Amino acid sequence: MLTLDGTQLNLADVADGARRRLDPVHWDFFAGGAGDERTLRANEDAFTRRWILPRILRGTRDRDLRISLLGRRVSMPVLIAPTAFHRLAHPEGEVATARAAADADTIMVVSMAATRPVEEIAAVGGPLWFQLYPQSDLAFTAALVRRAEAAGCRALVVTVDSPVFGRRERDLRHRFVDLPPGLVCENMRDPSGRIRDIEMDAGLDWGRIGRLRELTTLPILLKGILHPADARLAVAHGIDGVLVSNHGGRQLDAAVPTLDALPGIVAAVEGRLPVLLDGGIRRGTDILVALALGATAVLIGRPVLWGLAVGGTDGVRHVLDLLYADLDRAMALAGAAVPGDLTGDLVTTAAPG
């Protein structure tokens, strides 16, 4: 396995190490997107169209990156997004990821498609949320919610942008349709021990979200909000938070980049619930821009998998440390001591000169 050797100075370096480490089929599974991968590329490109207008002489010596989110204080406005199949990247899989998140004192969102059971992931002791695709079998969905609660997960992140699977042509070319022997989606194991397939349900609607609300007292966040009208509906239905996401470009190709969708979602919710964002975060300046445009926090997906492939827990922690240090430096240079100092006037789309 590759190790952290001091040359991995940014996330691009970590990605390069992961590419050399991973089976090409698995690299493409993690790296790829739907269709022509327009949205995949656009998520990162959207940040290149924003420029920072720094403030000066604002006394930013004592910076504090901590935020409070749904009653939990975390070390920085960076969470770990739900991603599938971590054991493709490292034998310890999601347990190694959870250990890094706990060390960094931030939240990991456990994927329903994890290759380690939520109970083992929770045993690490860090703060967890649980990502859920509601299944048409309501009894199984209810059992899964109870299982996440019992493991200590503190919120449900319901993915709502996947009525069907996106067409991921890299996977089709590789004929990657099944996990290697010995790997399964452990959270889909029913009481009989059988592993169920994860069902994408095109019948999912607001009524089903309401019935999910009746199953649990946990906060519910909706992941996959891009249209302001849906953000307003989320508020009306008592949702506790929204995640501006296009599934990392893996579902609807040509969907709007998340950073471009963010201001409309922030305006729509009018401060009544937290707005999170994922997609394309690669630098501390990306985080700064997202927060300045109204995000409460961001989530990272692929960079976590890169770190996991390169160095297990140490690799994921290195990714988180890189982003923490990069954001801390960017805030100091932009004239912000705390995330709340990051306001929209610090960002422009007009290139200097």
Asked about 247 being catalytic, the answer comes back as yes
Task: Give per-residue pLDDT as tens, 159-206.
Answer: 999 999 999 999 999 999 999 999 999 999 998 899 999 999 999 999
How far is 111 from 117, CA to CA, in rounded Å? Answer: 10
DSSP string computed for 131-184:
EE---S-HHHHHHHHHHHHHHT---EEEE-S-SS----HHHHHHT--SPPTT--
Nearest to 148 by CA among 179, 119, 106: 119
CA dihedral sign of residues 268, 240, 64, 74: negative
How far is 149 from 166, CA to CA, in rounded Å? Answer: 29
Q: 117, 124 in Cβ contact below 8 A? A: no
How far is 44 from 258, CA to CA, in rounded Å? Answer: 9
Evaluate if residue 232 carries a pLDDT over 70.
yes
Residue 134 CA, chain-centre distance (Å), reads: 18
Q: Which of 26, 90, 247, 318 is catalytic?
A: 247
In this prediction, residues 290-312 reach a mean pLDDT of: 98
Residue 282 CA, chain-centre distance (Å), reads: 13
- The CB density around residue 143, as the number of other CB atoms within 10 Å, is 15
Residue partners of 56: CB distance under 8 A and separation at least 6: 335
Query: For residue 297, what is the enclosing H or E element?
Result: strand 297-300
pLDDT of residue 352: 60
Q: 103, 352 in Cβ contact below 8 A? A: no
Bridge partners (DSSP) listed for residue 244 = 225, 277
Bridge partners (DSSP) listed for residue 277 = 244, 298
- The CB density around residue 325, as the number of other CB atoms within 10 Å, is 11
Evaluate if residue 113 carries a pLDDT over 80.
yes
**Which domains are seen in the chain, by residue range?**
11-336 (3.20.20.70)
Evaluate if residue 3 carries a pLDDT over 70.
no
How far is 240 from 272, CA to CA, in rounded Å? Answer: 9
How far is 290 from 203, CA to CA, in rounded Å? Answer: 32
* pTM greater than the 0.75 cutoff: yes
Query: For residue 108, what is the enclosing H or E element?
Result: strand 108-110
Task: Give per-residue pLDDT as tens, 126-141.
Answer: 999 999 999 999 999 9
Query: For residue 259, what is the enclosing H or E element?
Result: helix 258-269
In this prediction, residues 219-235 reach a mean pLDDT of: 98
How far is 51 from 288, CA to CA, in rounded Å? Answer: 11
Mean of pLDDT over the chain? 96
Task: Give per-residue pLDDT as tens, 147-158.
Answer: 999 999 999 999
pLDDT of residue 7: 82
Q: 344, 93 in Cβ contact below 8 A? A: no
Q: 231, 265 in Cβ contact below 8 A? A: yes
E runs forming strands in 218-284: 220-225, 241-244, 275-278
Task: Give per-residue pLDDT as tens, 64-81.
Answer: 999 999 999 999 999 999
pLDDT of residue 1: 38
Nearest to 208 by CA among 141, 273, 303: 141
Bridge partners (DSSP) listed for residue 298 = 78, 277
In this prediction, residues 215-224 reach a mean pLDDT of: 97
Q: Cα-flanking dihedrals φ and ψ of residue 243, to 5°?
A: -115, 110
pLDDT of residue 2: 42
